[in-house]
Amino acid sequence: MAEQVRIKNTGLRGVTVADSAISFIDGEKGVLIYRGFRVEDLADRSSYMETAFLLLHGALPSQEELADFSRRIKAERQVPDFIIDSMKKWPADASPMDVLQATVPMLAMDDPSPIAADRHEQADKAMGLIARFPTLVAAWHRIRSGLEPLAPREDLEHAANFLYMLKGQEPDPETAHDLDVCLTLHADHTFNASTFACRETVSTQAHIYAGVASGVGALSGSLHGGANARVMAMLLELENEPDVADWVKKRLAAGERIMGLGHAVYKTEDPRSKYLKDMGRRLGDKTGQRWFEISSQIEETALAEFAKKGKTEIKPNVDFNSAPVYYLMGIPTDLMTPVFAISRIAGWCSHIIEETFAEAQEKPALYRPKAEYVGDYCGLMGCEFTPVDER
Ligand SMILES: CC(C)(COP(=O)(O)OP(=O)(O)OC[C@H]1O[C@@H](n2cnc3c(N)ncnc32)[C@H](O)[C@@H]1OP(=O)(O)O)[C@@H](O)C(=O)NCCC(=O)NCCS
């Protein structure tokens, strides 16, 4: 057996790989902007539907445009029967992210021409994906729970319809609004790992479904979208822990990471995180649950420990505060990352449209970075091959 080769990896940190007009982050100041609008303004005054339109089309919709967009999304929520029938044969303990990733190419099979001819066609396909993601996630949860999936309801808005399809009950308006705000806050985030995966895939001229399936796969990892489920698992583990501070200190001393802290771009508090923290505090007060108290203890202790080592840039990220919020809404822990995907699909599709049909771009470039070859074998030109029976 060959020895393991030691490699270094830049993770593409700080490398500008393309122009984009979709979103902007100032990691030093804690600013996130979608198409010119601060995310806090959108969370306070807009809606997920309006934000999805903004991301896809580059401008806020008129009242008529928003009504039409919303009506079309509502009309496209159904998923084909063959996908639901297939899901019923899948193992009930399959990860919801694996299920979501597996169903996206099945949507391509249902599309007679999955390769879009222009940006309008690509935007229509994007609307179909935005419409169907909640249906796919809710359907899987019901199937694995031994229940029949519920048909989407056109009289309900996006977040309310998802919670209805998930639980079989219409949510109260406050919960539906809170989830809509969460979806708005997660809708885009520049060239994060999953968005880059989408763009990289469609740069080969693969269709939007192949791009989105790549994005779902990348989002599932615990260093990216999977972190929210890991945060909730940590909070549940600490529910009856008498000394949270001690638990945190021991974990850090053992060289382990605390999920939900730190970010590759933000060097101060993530603007989305502050928002979700307030929501978590309010929901905690309303329900009498103490997740906010536990997460505050984790944050306080970990940040003090980081400060001792001069790592003052590690702050809570969006997953740290979204996890208890989703939990208090009754969203199961392993559906937290799929809920992230239900939101981020708008950003992914906007980036896919930009990657495939951006104007003033001479030709969409196929991503093809290079690696430093460090293979320590027989020199650059390679080894002399000997057949297996002579070895
Ligand atoms: C998101 C993340 C990968 C970004 O990391 P990064 O900026 O690339 O920094 P690195 O992974 O190189 O870490 C830098 C240092 O900070 C430490 N660090 C970063 N995040 C940490 C965390 N959550 N817990 C403990 N230590 C952490 C690392 O151990 C490393 O220490 P070292 O230099 O002594 O080895 C990282 O902060 C992390 O793993 N966070 C937890 C997972 C998470 O919440 N992901 C969701 C992101 S939205």
Query: Could you read off the pLDDT of 100-146 as tens digits, one per residue?
Result: 999 999 999 999 999 999 999 999 999 999 999 999 999 999 999 99
| Complete edge-to-edge strand list for the sheet that includes strand 31-34 | 23-26, 31-34, 37-38
What single DSSP character describes residue 378? S
351 is catalytic: no
Query: Could you read off the pLDDT of 53-105 as tens digits, one per residue?
Result: 999 999 999 999 999 999 999 999 999 999 999 999 999 999 999 999 999 99
Distance CA 2, CA 109 (A): 42
| Per-residue model confidence (pLDDT) at position 3 | 64
What's the distance, Cα to Cα, between the start and end of the chain in Å? 12
Write down the residue that tokens 């791009």 correspond to.
Answer: 211
177 is catalytic: no
Query: Could you read off the pLDDT of 233-255 as tens digits, one per residue?
Result: 999 999 999 999 999 999 999 99
Query: Could you read off the pLDDT of 279-324 as tens digits, one per residue?
Result: 999 998 998 888 989 999 999 999 999 999 999 999 999 999 999 9
| 169 Cβ neighbours under 8 A, 6+ residues apart | 163
The protein residue whose alpha carbon is closest to atom 19 in ligand 1 is 262
Taking alpha carbons only, the member of 212, 192, 190, 196 closest to residue 130 is 212
| Per-residue model confidence (pLDDT) at position 159 | 98
Structure tokens at 179: 């989830």
Residue 364 has pLDDT above 60, yes or no: no
Q: Tell me how long the chain is.
A: 391
Residue 359 has pLDDT above 80, yes or no: no
Q: Which listed residue (188, 189, 319, 351) is catalytic?
A: 319
- Which residue among 223, 269, 317 is best mutated to probe the pocket of ligand 1, counting the most ligand atoms within 8 A of its Cβ? 223
The string of DSSP letters for 88-128 reads: TTS-TTS-HHHHHHHHHHHHHHT-S--S-SSHHHHHHHHHH
**Mean pLDDT across 150-169:** 98
Query: Could you read off the pLDDT of 179-198 as tens digits, one per residue?
Result: 999 999 999 999 999 999 99
Domains of the chain: 23-223+332-357 (1.10.580.10), 227-328 (1.10.230.10)
At 361, is the pLDDT very low, low, confident or very high (cuts 50, 70, 90)? low
Distance CA 191, CA 23 (A): 9
| Per-residue model confidence (pLDDT) at position 264 | 85
Give percent of the chain above pLDDT 90.
82
Q: Which listed residue (158, 186, 189, 263) is catalytic?
A: 263
Mean pLDDT of the chain: 94
Q: Is the CB of 350 under 6 A from ligand 1?
A: no
